[in-house]
Amino acid sequence: MTEQALCQKAIDMLDMAYVPYSHFPVGAALLCRDGTVFTGCNIENAGYTPTNCAERTALFKAVSEGVTEFTDIAIVGSLDGKKNTLVTGPCGVCRQALYEFCGPRLRVLMAKSENDYIETTLGDLLPYGFGPANLE
């Protein structure tokens, strides 16, 4: 799977986002080590705090299906009517949730479009991250 194709899968998820409160759709596509992809969108809630981010939707879909090894995640966010115009970095909670399974080497593609994205790593986004190894 190319980086462009992974970004496109995240972009496709913008249409699935449930965002009646923020009107800020986010899409994510998580590439597993075996080559499969789990996608996610943000799902908001009238109680606000139960809102689930796109990245964690994708992660929890994968883990709940028994998949726990990942190499890349693509993330895209947009404002209503201005699709794919923003680079969205994962929130702090999602960085921590991803760190549990992916560690610092996960590649993170923060996309504006299929061909326009910033590439970084989870280690850069979450330095000195706290993970399973800290509890060994």
Say if residues 106 and 90 touch (Cβ distance below 8 Å).
no
**Residue placing its CB nearer to ligand THU in the complex, 107 or 135:** 107
Q: Minimal distance in Å, beta carbon 21 to ligand THU?
A: 7
Per-residue contact track with ligand THU, 60 to 79, x per CB under 6 A?
--------------------
| Number of residues near ligand THU (by CB under 6 A) | 14
Q: Contact between 98 and ligand THU (CB under 6 A)? A: no
Residue type for 85, please?
T
Q: Which residues does the annotation mark as catalytic?
A: 55
> Which residue in 4, 22, 96, 113 binds ligand THU (CB under 6 A)?
22
| Torsion angle in degrees (nearest 10) through CA of 74, 18, 92, 55 | -30
Nearest C-alpha neighbor of 76 from the set 111, 32, 107: 111
Contact residues toward ligand THU (CB under 6 A) are: 19, 22, 24, 26, 42, 44, 51, 53-55, 88, 90-91, 94
